[in-house]
Chain A
Amino acid sequence: MEYQSWGKTFEFKQYKALLETNPFKLPIVEKNKFLLPHGLGRSYGDSCLNKDNYLVPMRLHNNFINFDRDKGILKCQAGCSLPEVLDLIVKDNWFLPVTPGTKYVTIGGAIANDIHGKNHHESGSFGNHLLSFDLLRSDNSITHCTKTENTDLFRATIGGLGLTGIILNAEIELSPISGPYINQEIIKYDSLSEFFHLTEESNSKFHHTVAWLDCFAKNEKLGRGLFIRGNHSSEVIDRDKIKVYKPITSIPVEFPGFVLNPITMKIFNFLYYNKQISKYKKSKVYYDNFFYPLDSVNNWNKIYGKRGMFQYQCVISYKDKQDAVKEILKQISNSKAGSFLGVIKTFGNKPSLGLLSFPKPGVTIALDFPNKGEKTLKLFNNLDAIVKEANGRLYPAKDSRMSNEMFKFSFPNYEEFLKYTDSAFSSSFIRRVLGGDNI
């Protein structure tokens, strides 16, 4: 399987091994080879790759098992994609309790990365809304895991990057909504301190908040951007009109390397920041446009060309988070290595359940960088130092290069986690970050 993850920076070969059904059993592979479940492959780095080893395609197992429309509880196989789930639930006024910035992920992937979204400040991450799941392990046992049953495996699997076994199915608590529209407000803000001010003002009144960040802005304009906040609208529409959007366009080929450069991106950022003339703009938008703006362009990652892109996502957890964020943005702005896709958001206090969960209270920044090789990696090492100093961590789902040291710092519970991983499973990510101390 010639397959690349979303960032397209790795060219690894892996093989396909199919799950046996009736009864569910792991595929039998060579003795020294490992398995890794594979969903829709939207992870940026190597957490969804398994170089020279096997991937178990989970999209083949995409059936619903039960949907309780009164209580809002969905049980489905882990290979179900979010578009499939949304197609089922939105019509009956239910929504995903947590949704990431793209809908092209599977339920299994959502659990394995303990994904978070624009409502983290209120609702925490995906694992917080998981009632149970069934896990298939290499002894072919199927373990039912909940918050109170087999809790160790429950906590190890949430955010566990597919390394504890194969999630066959999961039961999720959905969120009630009154309709498919969102009352959205976009506020143009001029500085980082204004961002923090807006966050404080918005977090108690809005379920969903995030800001797009102009990472080329400097000095007093550092951290400027567009603050986006929204709540579900009570406006109802005809059931038949409720659809899950498909991409309206697709990038057919990788762009040549010169297309995305500091000049074009600075221009883009300037235009994007100023696309809204007024400071406040209110509108009613369909949920798909609010939550998944990038999904309208299929294969948008090809814009970064053959060399691909890196994403750097960290969370800063520190009393002087404003300073740490300022420092990070200064480094990026000075390096001119950034791009037009940058977001910043605060995480709330709801504790993440997984041993390797990424979200913790603080501020998270996620930025895309075209892969300029050493230059980009050097910048990231500098950023790591700031993140470390601010007691932060990095997000495995986005990572292609964090060091062994940074991994251990980010996840002090990693040794406990390793107790629950399954010896038949491994990934390029875990082999890389653990280095010599192997899995």
Chain B
Amino acid sequence: MITAIFGATSGIAKEIACELAKRNHGLVLVARDSNKLETIATHISAINPKIKIVTIIWDLSESKSLDLLISKILSEVPDIDVALLAYGILGDQSKACSETKELLNLIETNYTSACVLLMHLANYFESRKSGTIATITSVAGDRGRQSNYAYGSTKAGLSAYLQGLRNKLYSKNITVLDIKPGFVDTQMTRHLSKNLLFADPKDVAISIVKAIQAKKDYLYTPWYWKYIMLVIKNIPEFLFKRTKT
């Protein structure tokens, strides 16, 4: 089994890659920072020296060249069984409210390029008539809130795209998994003060790998976020719009 991870240097992706390595998956790791990527590839190789690890340096926010990326991957490995999109930026909400550049960057990286990549991956998987496409979105996409709606909306859009893709690819026996993590203790959340709700990326990675293997459609991780978001989603708008979160 070969898994391609897009955004392999992200906190959760690294742990997923380690878990997959333990389960003897070959790996294609794509990221833009060559030094970080090499460090992670070495780390994974120490965990399981027997698997094949391919590293590709690529800027995933460059939507227009993503078809070339897929070709490059397929020139290195015979095929891909699982594709995982694990890249994204949190951005700065206050900057995104006034700076065009910040907002555009957020949307391009998190939504636009991800949709383009998913399009190419969907076509590839359709031609091989099997496989799994997994994408890390966020609980932030479940409801727009003033503190992070720029980020949240990119994830909400992505979830809707995945939902449509799932519908389209069902007859081709392809699984589309939407992963919605809550707060996870990684580089992305380093600036936030940690509390009980912060999950260990290792635990999150294990639940994601299990969900991929079980061919689930969506996953809230840790599990209790499903219920937290159920409540949040059902608060009537006339009340929610008054909140300060």
Contact = CB atoms under 8 A, between A and B. Distances in A.
B167 interface: no
Main secondary structure of the interface of A (DSSP, over half): mixed
A88 B46 contact: yes
A66 interface: yes
Contacts of B39: 63
A64 B35 contact: no
Contacts of A64: 42-43, 46-47
A22 B42 CA distance: 15
A278 interface: no
B224 to A, nearest CB: 16
A438 interface: no
A21 B35 contact: yes
Given A63-B42, A88-B47, 8 more contacts: A21-B35, A21-B36, A60-B187, A65-B42, A65-B43, A66-B46, A69-B49, A88-B46
Given A88-B46, A88-B47, A63 B40 contact: yes
B35 A67 contact: no
Nearest to B35: A22
A63 B35 contact: no
Interface in B21-66: 35-36, 39-40, 42-43, 46-47, 49
Nearest to A1: B193
B46 A65 contact: yes
B24 to A, nearest CB: 12
Contacts of A22: 35-36
Contacts of A63: 39-40, 42-43
Contacts of A69: 49
A378 B224 CA distance: 49
Contacts of A66: 42, 46
Interface string A60-94: 10011111010000001000000000001000000
Nearest to B196: A252
Name the residue in B39, B40, B46, B187 with the highest tally of chain A Cβ atoms < 10 Å from its Cβ: B46
A66 B45 CA distance: 8
Contacts of B36: 21-22
Main secondary structure of the interface of B (DSSP, over half): helix
Interface string A9-22: 00000000000011
A421 B49 CA distance: 38
Interface residues of A, number: 11
A64 B22 CA distance: 14
B199 to A, nearest CB: 13
B204 to A, nearest CB: 14
B223 to A, nearest CB: 16
A201 to B, nearest CB: 41
Interface in B78-123: none
Contacts of B43: 63-65
B132 to A, nearest CB: 23
Contacts of A67: 46-47, 49
A91 B167 CA distance: 42
Contacts of B187: 60
Nearest to A66: B46
A248 to B, nearest CB: 15
Nearest to A57: B190
16 contacts: A21-B35, A22-B35, A22-B36, A63-B39, A63-B42, A63-B43, A64-B46, A65-B42, A65-B43, A65-B46, A66-B42, A67-B46, A67-B47, A69-B49, A76-B46, A88-B47
Contacts of A88: 46-47
A21 B33 CA distance: 12
Nearest to B42: A65
Interface in A41-74: 60, 63-67, 69
Nearest to A63: B43
Nearest to A252: B196
Interface string A135-163: 00000000000000000000000000000
A378 B88 CA distance: 57
B13 to A, nearest CB: 14
B213 to A, nearest CB: 14
Contacts of A65: 42-43, 46
A66 B36 CA distance: 16
A129 B175 CA distance: 49
A69 B46 CA distance: 9
Contacts of A21: 35-36
Name the residue in B35, B43, B47, B187 with the highest tally of chain A Cβ atoms < 10 Å from its Cβ: B43
Contacts of B46: 64-67, 76, 88
Contacts of B35: 21-22
B156 to A, nearest CB: 30
A239 B127 CA distance: 38
Interface string A337-363: 000000000000000000000000000
Contacts of B47: 64, 67, 88
A139 B47 CA distance: 34
B240 to A, nearest CB: 30
Contacts of B42: 63-66
Contacts of A60: 187
A63 B42 CA distance: 8
A64 B187 CA distance: 18
B180 to A, nearest CB: 24
Interface in A272-307: none
